[in-house]
Amino acid sequence: MMNQTLAEKVAVITGGGSGIGYATAQRFASAGARVVLVGRNIQRLDEAVQRIGNNATAISTDVSDEQQVKQLFDQLKQVDLLVTCAGGALFGSVEAIGLPLVRELFATRFFGQLAAAHYAVPKMPSGGVIIFCSGVADIVGLPFFSAGTAIDGAINAMTRSLAVELGPRGIRVNAISPGLIDDTNIQTNMSREQLEEFTDTTVQAIPLKRMGRPNDVADAAYFLATCQYVSGLVIEVDGGWSAT
C-alpha cells in the first residue's frame, strides 16, 4: 500500500528544480502531496515535474523579487506545506566581499524565505507547516563566510520567533540546517579547484567522513512535515559536523 500521509496536501517548494528541493518534492509527492516546484530555471523545473509525475506542477519565480513571490502565492488557493530551499553561497574575506554581493545573497536566502512565509501564511489552514533552510555555519563558524553565517543565524532566529507567533493558529515552523550536501547546484563564487579543496578539507572534519545527500535532507523535511508536535526546531543534517 502506498504511503499517503500527505494526501491532498499542497506543498510549495522553492528551489524545487534540483538538489535538496527536488529530493524533498519527490518525497512529498510519493506521500500523496501535490507539489508546486518553484525556481528561476523553468527548463529545470519542467524536467523535474516530468520525473515526479502527475502530482507536480512548476511555477517560475525569482524569490529575490518580492513581487514575483506575491504573484506566485496569488495563484494558489491554499498552501499546506511551505519548504524554502532556494540558496546560494558567497565566500571571501570581510574586506574583499563587496556589500552589493552580500545584499544580493540576503535578497535570495533570507528575504526570499521571509517573503515566502509572508505571502503563504494567509493561505495556510490550521495544520500548516513552514520549513525554512538555514545552514551549519550558524554553529561551526566558517571562516571567509561571514555573510552566509549571518543569514543562517537570522533564519534560525526567525524560525523560533515564528513558531511562537504562529503556533496558536495551528501552524508549525521549523528549519533544516544542512551541512555539506552533494549535488545541490548552489551557486557560489568559488572556482572549481577552490570548491574541491574546500570539500575535501571539510569532509575530513565531518565525523561520518562523507558529504550528505539531498535525500538525507528530504528525510528530515518529511519528519518535520509529519510530526505534529514539533515546532521551533532547527534540525542539523550535517553528519555530526556541528557536534565537533
The pLDDT value recorded for residue 1 is 46
The pLDDT value recorded for residue 186 is 63
With beta carbons less than 8 A apart as the criterion, state whether 19 and 180 touch: no
The pLDDT confidence band at residue 119, using thresholds 50, 70 and 90, is: very high
**Which range marks the domain in which residue 122 is found?**
10-238
Domain annotation covers residue 2: no
CA pair distance 206, 151, nearest whole angstrom: 22
Straight-line distance from the first to the last Cα atom of the chain, in angstroms, rounded to the nearest whole number: 41
User: What is the mean predicted confidence (pLDDT) over 110-115?
Assistant: 98
Query: In CATH, what number is assigned to the domain containing residue 170?
Result: 3.40.50.720
**H or E element, residue 37:** strand 34-39
The pLDDT value recorded for residue 87 is 81
Domain annotation covers residue 174: yes
What cell does 223 get?
A: 519528519
Question: Measured in whole angstroms, how far is the alpha carbon of residue 155 from the centre of its chain?
Answer: 11
CA pair distance 8, 17, nearest whole angstrom: 21
Which is it for strands 56-60 and 234-237: parallel, antiparallel or unpaired? unpaired
Render pLDDT for 200-230 as a digit per residue (tens, 0 to 9). 999 999 999 999 999 999 999 999 999 999 9
Q: How many domains does the chain have?
A: 1
- The CA–CA distances, whole Å, from 77 to 11, 41, 184 equal 12, 24, 30
Domain annotation covers residue 4: no
Is 28's pLDDT higher than 70?
Answer: yes
Q: What distance separates the 2 farthest-apart alpha carbons in the chain?
A: 57
**N residues, the chain:** 244
CA pair distance 96, 188, nearest whole angstrom: 15
- Other beta carbons within 10 Å of 55: 18
CA pair distance 114, 84, nearest whole angstrom: 9
The pLDDT value recorded for residue 2 is 61
The pLDDT value recorded for residue 194 is 83
Domain annotation covers residue 3: no
Domain annotation covers residue 42: yes
Q: What is the pTM of this model?
A: 0.95
The pLDDT confidence band at residue 185, using thresholds 50, 70 and 90, is: low
